[in-house]
Amino acid sequence: MKQGIHPSNWQHDCVVTCSCGNTFVTGGIKKAMQIDICNACHPFFTGEMRFVDRQGRVDKFQKKMQAAQAAAAIAANKAKKAVKEKVESKSYKQILVEQQAELKAKKQADVTAEN
């Protein structure tokens, strides 16, 4: 091992206390230490399916996702409504008149392109 990289005061029995209430003793440079999660409450060791989030990041992310999904649903409904109104607002006769005008414009463009 390399010399001089390890703490020289590694002489205390460190009492580690978890936020769940579990305590254990290990060696360390401090006499006491407070931790957020340990092997008694971590989902990997307990087999529980739960989120470990002390600062609310998971909840914040889930709220953002719900808001985004709601906004997307509203936008989709508005788009469907707009398409439906656009289709319903034109009569069959109006659609035919528009198509005939487009055909006439194409024919005139072809005639001018040939000349």
Cα separation, 57 vs 39, whole angstroms: 22
Tell me if 37 sits within 8 A of 16, measured CB to CB: no
Task: Return the number of other C-beta atoms located less than 10 Å from residue 87's C-beta.
Answer: 9
Q: Which residue stretches of 16-56 are H helix?
A: 43-46
Q: pTM for the whole thing? A: 0.37
Q: Minimal CA–CA distance to 36: which of 48, 53, 50? A: 53
- Decide: 10 and 27 in contact? Cβ < 8 Å: yes
Per-residue pLDDT of the chain (115 residues; tens, 9 = 90+): 678 787 777 777 899 999 888 999 988 888 899 988 887 887 777 777 666 666 677 778 889 999 999 999 999 998 888 877 766 667 788 889 999 999 999 988 888 887 6
